[in-house]
Structure 1
Amino acid sequence: MVTKSVAQLLATTTGKPVGLGVVPLNPATGQPYPPPYTLLYPLDHNSSDGTLADRGAAAVSEYQATFVSGPVPGNSDSKGTVEQAEWLADKGRTGVMARPADGSPGYVNPLTIPGVTCFYREAHDAGATSDENDAIITTVIRFRLHLEASA
């Protein structure tokens, strides 16, 4: 449930498809979407967050989002660009981390998980490929989500 919700949040905020560990497929054609797109990988999940007051109802889940730029289909002279990968990563980071402009608590873009509230989010840039001679360029961000059972 959490993974699908994170994928939906990234797809909504970037406006581009997200694949869960694989290149996303267009459901209408069954063919892979061309870049740009995001690959999402679940990493660590820790149900012991070290707090004493929540009766063990909290957890921390970590995800890696790999933002992919690549050649334009049908154009053999095209290739991925750093700018495109960074643009997509910026949209993903901003979309996940944006706080309300009025200073109210929470996040602008909800992470909708039935029975779960995400009370804190972290983003860490984890690296990128930057050789523009490569056909595909990527930027990686790791998101850490602090979750608790909803009342």
Structure 2
Amino acid sequence: MIDRLPVTDGFTALLETLTGRPVGRRTVPVDANGQPVPPPYTILDPLDRTDDDNTLADNGKATVVGYQATFVSGPIPGWPDSRGGDEQAQWLADRGWKVVERPANGPGYAHALNVGAGVACWRREAREVGGTSDPNDGIITSVIRYRLYLEKTA
């Protein structure tokens, strides 16, 4: 069985690297003082998990985990009446799509994902599933759902 926490740690770190913005787990991210950070940021929610990769060769060493990343735009601090916008939300989501980016000159993925010792992520999937669409909300989001296919290597 593959522990989920190291996978979540690695996926959080990858999203933070790709977006250059903080990622909160199931909640708004907080700063070093425990205060909520202003948008833009990402909220990462663990979703489903299965320990069967649906292959004939399944030897009990595989796990498929799902995550939802909500890319949140928002008002710009210090700008009265500013609102989050579609451009900001899409900019963040574009960086989130880099999770599944392939290198131009070889196999694998362009950006490393550290999911813990003795575990490899051999396949990644992503699909955009929507977000908020009303600019009067003041916060606009884009949402991507990911599936990571993991296997024990040791």
Q: TM-score, normalised by structure 1?
A: 0.93
Mapped to 1, the partners of 2:102 and 2:18 lie a distance apart of: 14
**Which of 104, 107, 116 in structure 2 is aligned with 1:105?**
107
- Listed one character per residue, the Cα deviations across residues 81-100 of structure 1 (whole Å, up to 9, x for unaligned) are 01100110111112x01111
Q: Counterparts of 1:34-45 in structure 2 under 5 Å? A: 34-45=38-49
**Aligned residue identity for 1:18:** V
Cα shift at 1:79: 0.5
Match of 1:133 in 2: 136
Mapped to 2, the partners of 1:126 and 1:31 lie a distance apart of: 29
- Is the CA contact (8 Å cut-off) linking 2:69 and 2:144 kept in structure 1? yes
**3-state SS, counterpart of residue 7 of structure 1:** helix
Moved over 6 A (4+): none
Cα shift at 1:54: 4.0
Q: Counterparts of 1:48-67 in structure 2 under 5 Å? A: 48-67=52-71
**Aligned residue identity for 1:42:** P
Match of 2:146 in 1: 143
Q: State the number of aligned residues.
A: 148
Cα shift at 1:68: 0.1
Match of 2:25 in 1: 20
- Is the CA contact (8 Å cut-off) linking 2:69 and 2:145 kept in structure 1? yes
Match of 1:74 in 2: 78
Moved more, 17-26 or 69-78: 69-78
Cα shift at 1:138: 0.5
Q: Counterparts of 1:1-16 in structure 2 under 5 Å? A: 1-16=6-21
Mapped to 1, the partners of 2:21 and 2:146 lie a distance apart of: 18
Mapped to 1, the partners of 2:45 and 2:54 lie a distance apart of: 25
**3-state SS, counterpart of residue 133 of structure 1:** helix
Match of 2:34 in 1: 30
What residue ranges of structure 2 are gaps of 5+ in the alignment?
1-5
**3-state SS, counterpart of residue 89 of structure 2:** helix
Mapped to 1, the partners of 2:74 and 2:125 lie a distance apart of: 27
Mapped to 2, the partners of 1:21 and 1:129 lie a distance apart of: 18
Cα shift at 1:75: 2.4
CA RMSD of aligned residues (A): 1.1
Q: Does 1:121 pair with 2:121? A: no
